[in-house]
């Protein structure tokens, strides 16, 4: 028989677990459901879908830029090789001395670099022919000076310097012969004079 004066200890009593199907019961392992959770899930899915597309787009752009750079480099190399073949081949692979300065001036003329080409003349020549006069002559007869070198003669002794004859095919499809006179001062060669003539007429020379 229970003692009516004995009061049970409330701390010793264990609460009865709620049934699994009780209202308001939520497992800690289950994510919270609702509009906010659905919106966040949608944003994560959108980011996951966009990320591979962005990487592929950047990779494609990089490859396109790389191919463009390689194409421009190849084109510049081909153009340089073509100019060198046009001007260098008739002089021979080991040409030097007076031939080297003549080749350098013809290359400068072919590229339209008139000031560097003019600076290859000797002090005496530049004192007699100003850059303005020489520039006007080059511009007026540019088809003659923008040409392909066909062959070169060996340098020959001429007074204090040497003479060198070059045979060219101009942009006007005419054949020309250029006779260069060169002198060596200050440790290098300078073009002291030059005359151009239309082939095969040997008498019509034009001083430049």
Average pLDDT over residues 82-87: 52
Average pLDDT over residues 182-188: 90
Q: Where are the domains of the chain?
A: 87-207
pLDDT beyond 50 at 94? no
- Which architecture characterizes domain 87-207 according to CATH? Roll (3.10)
- pLDDT, greater one: 55 or 185: 185
pTM of the predicted protein model: 0.52
- pLDDT, greater one: 35 or 200: 200
Please, which pLDDT band fits residue 21 given cuts at 50, 70 and 90? very low
Q: Do β-strands 161-170 and 175-185 pair in parallel, antiparallel, or remain unpaired?
A: antiparallel
Please, which pLDDT band fits residue 23 given cuts at 50, 70 and 90? very low
pLDDT beyond 70 at 1? no
pLDDT, position 73: 80
Q: Which residues of 36-64 are buried (b: 16+ CB within 10 A; e: fewer)?
A: eeeeeeeeeeeeeeeeeeeeeeeeeeeee
């Amino acid at each position: 028989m229970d003692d009516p004066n004995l009061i049970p200890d409330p701390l010793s009593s264990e609460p009865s677990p709620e049934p699994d199907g009780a209202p308001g019961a939520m497992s800690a392992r289950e994510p919270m459901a609702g509009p906010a959770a659905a919106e966040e899930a949608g944003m994560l899915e959108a980011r996951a879908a966009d990320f591979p597309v962005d990487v592929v787009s950047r990779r494609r752009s990089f490859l396109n830029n790389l191919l463009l750079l390689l194409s421009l480099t190849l084109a510049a190399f081909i153009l340089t090789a073509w100019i060198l073949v046009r001007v260098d081949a008739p002089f021979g692979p080991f040409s030097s001395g007076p031939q080297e300065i003549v080749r350098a001036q013809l290359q400068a003329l072919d590229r339209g670099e008139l000031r560097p080409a003019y600076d290859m003349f000797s002090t005496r020549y530049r004192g007699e022919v100003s850059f303005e006069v020489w520039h006007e002559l080059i511009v007026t007869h540019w088809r003659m000076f923008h040409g392909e070198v066909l062959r070169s003669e060996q340098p020959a002794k001429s007074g204090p310097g040497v003479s060198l004859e070059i045979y060219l095919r101009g942009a006007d499809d005419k054949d020309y012969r250029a006779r260069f006179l060169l002198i060596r001062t200050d440790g290098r060669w300078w073009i002291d004079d030059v005359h151009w003539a239309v082939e095969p007429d040997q008498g019509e020379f034009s001083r430049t």
